[in-house]
Amino acid sequence: MRRLGIELTPEHPTAEIVETARAAEEAGFDTAFVSSHHFNRDPFVVADRIGQATGLDVGPGVVNPYETHSVSLATRAGTLDETTDGRAVFGVGAGDRSALSNLGYEHERPLRRVLETFKVAQRLWAGESVDHDGTFTARNAELNFDVGEIPVYVGAQGPHMTRMAAKHADGVLLNASHPRDFEWAADRVAEGLEERPDSRGEFDFAAFASVSVAEDEAAARAAARPPVAFIAAGTAPPVLDRHDVDHEAASTVGEHLSDGSFDAAFEAVTERMLDVFCIAGTPEQVGERIEAVSTYADSFVAGSPLGPDRTAAPTLLAEALGRTTGRDR
């Protein structure tokens, strides 16, 4: 396993997130991805605090290039790389359509926007002066400080973004939790790798799976409802069909989220959605699902919510992962 990561969602006080990061490092994790939502704390600030308190690789997972200009994202990632002595990772993706709509942003040309964003960032990190006229504009953009090589991970779910990541990026954070999705995605990764130049080096196919673990299965599943709501609402129809998830039910969840009716959205999540869009249960159950997913992926990132008890979750996850990876904890 190349990376063993954990997603930390800064909906909680930064000090608590840092403590969870410390627990994750102690449990054997090597990377922390800090999720980005406009209604939560700033991911780069939280990532910096994690970087100061731990030896983890750390970065946003994932930021979108609509709310913030792509050059500014490159600057923030470069700054994080400096403050963490070269441990930054850059997770970038198209963002949540419903959340962006609430801020007045059009979710236009997402694949091209993401690709252009990290390509420009890589040029800036390499010390180039960049002129760019595409899905965004930059004139004589450059950084006045040195930046190392920052691994770029593309958050993806659909076929085109996954193929693009395999062709151009350092890794993909495949947003899925069911083995069937990773089996499907492995073929898309293979298609992208066929066009990948050798000069770009190895590619990391990372499973970015929503996980909720607890000694009590019911508690684990209950804690999974909020992230599953966002996942289900943004899932493409072919994926819903792949798992026999009712389209109308998923649409209802999305409508509640767009209206800001979060409690209603979470209540509208079905048991089928929980089974498909999250790895939820006891450490033994979670370990079995991760083992099935790891058949296809190179790395594993345990995504939100982690579990009903964030303090205990890293240890329980390590227990689950130990069954399948043999990783020293």
If asked whether residues 200 and 53 sit together in one domain, one would say: yes
If asked whether residues 45 and 172 sit together in one domain, one would say: yes
If asked whether residues 236 and 139 sit together in one domain, one would say: no
If asked whether residues 169 and 260 sit together in one domain, one would say: no
pLDDT band at 322 (very low <50, low <70, confident <90, very high): confident
Contacts of 97 (CB under 8 A, 6+ apart): 107, 234
What whole-number distance in Å separates Cα of residue 264 and Cα of residue 260? 9
- Residue 328: predicted pLDDT: 46
pLDDT band at 230 (very low <50, low <70, confident <90, very high): confident
**Contact present, 160 and 113 (Cβ < 8 Å):** no
Strand, coil or helix: 226: helix
If asked whether residues 114 and 242 sit together in one domain, one would say: no
Least confident of 38-42, 88-92, 210-214, 245-249: 38-42
Total domain count, the chain? 2
Cα atoms in the Cβ-side hemisphere of radius 13 Å centred on 103: 15
pLDDT band at 310 (very low <50, low <70, confident <90, very high): confident
CATH number of the domain encompassing residue 313: 3.20.20.30
pLDDT band at 100 (very low <50, low <70, confident <90, very high): low
Residue with tokens 């949540």: 96
Number of other CB atoms surrounding residue 246 within 10 Å: 12
What's 253's DSSP letter? H
> Among residues 240, 262, 277, which one ends one of the domains?
277
> Among residues 277, 293, 312, which one ends one of the domains?
277
What whole-number distance in Å separates Cα of residue 80 and Cα of residue 329? 27
If asked whether residues 148 and 186 sit together in one domain, one would say: yes
Q: What is the pTM of this model?
A: 0.91
pLDDT band at 36 (very low <50, low <70, confident <90, very high): confident
Q: What does the pLDDT look like over 149-199, one tens digit per residue?
A: 999 999 998 899 999 999 999 999 999 999 999 999 999 999 999 999 999
- Residue 268: predicted pLDDT: 97
Range of the domain at 135: 4-216+278-325
If asked whether residues 50 and 66 sit together in one domain, one would say: yes
If asked whether residues 65 and 185 sit together in one domain, one would say: yes
- Residue 311: predicted pLDDT: 85
One DSSP character per residue, 28-72 reads T--EEEEP--TTS--HHHHHHHHHHH---EEEES-B-TTTS-HHH
Q: What does the pLDDT look like over 279-306, one tens digit per residue?
A: 999 999 999 999 999 999 999 999 999 9
What whole-number distance in Å separates Cα of residue 86 and Cα of residue 57? 8
User: Mean pLDDT across the chain, nearest whole number?
Assistant: 93
Check whether 325 has a pLDDT greater than 80: no
- Residue 120: predicted pLDDT: 98
- Residue 94: predicted pLDDT: 81
Strand, coil or helix: 123: helix
Helix, strand, coil percent values for the chain (each to nearest 5): 50, 20, 35
pLDDT band at 43 (very low <50, low <70, confident <90, very high): very high
Q: What does the pLDDT look like over 110-144, one tens digit per residue?
A: 999 999 999 999 999 999 999 999 999 999 999 99
- How buried is 196 (Cβ within 10 angstroms: 0-12 exposed, 13-18 middle, 19+ buried)? middle
What whole-number distance in Å separates Cα of residue 217 and Cα of residue 143? 49
If asked whether residues 272 and 283 sit together in one domain, one would say: no
Q: Which two tokens stand for residue 179?
A: 């083995």
Number of other CB atoms surrounding residue 69 within 10 Å: 15
- Residue 98: predicted pLDDT: 63
pLDDT band at 324 (very low <50, low <70, confident <90, very high): low
Q: What does the pLDDT look like over 258-283, one tens digit per residue?
A: 888 999 999 999 999 999 999 999 99
Stretch 231-257: mean pLDDT, rounded? 92
Check whether 80 has a pLDDT greater than 80: yes
